[in-house]
C-alpha cells in the first residue's frame, strides 16, 4: 500500500533496503496507532509528500 512504500518503489529502481523502510513504517504505525500519512486523502498526495 502507498503508506508503506519506500520512495524508490515509485521510480522502479530499488533493492532490499525498501523492506527496511516498510518495516520502519510498520513500527511507526504500531507506536503511534495511526497509519503513516493519514492526513493524505489519496495515493497521489502520499507520493507528493514522499518524493519531495
Return the domain boundaries, the chain. 2-51
> Which residue intervals of 1-52 are DSSP H helices?
7-11, 17-32, 43-51
CA 6 to CA 51: how far, in whole Å? 9
Question: Would the CA dihedral through 12, 14, 19, 21 be positive or negative?
Answer: negative
Tell me: pLDDT of 29 over 90: yes
Cell (9 digits) for 41: 486523502
pLDDT band (50, 70, 90) for residue 41: very high
Instruction: Give Cβ neighbours of residue 25 (< 8 Å, ≥ 6 apart).
Output: 3, 4, 36
Mean pLDDT of 9-36: 93
Backbone conformation region of residue 35, classed left if phi is above 0, alpha if psi is from -120 to 50, else beta? beta
Amino acid at each position: 500500500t502507498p503508506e508503506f512504500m519506500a520512495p524508490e518503489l515509485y521510480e522502479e529502481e530499488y533493492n532490499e533496503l525498501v523492506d527496511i523502510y516498510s518495516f520502519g513504517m510498520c513500527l511507526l504505525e504500531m507506536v503511534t496507532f495511526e497509519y503513516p500519512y493519514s492526513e493524505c486523502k489519496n495515493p497521489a498526495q502520499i507520493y507528493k509528500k514522499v518524493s519531495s
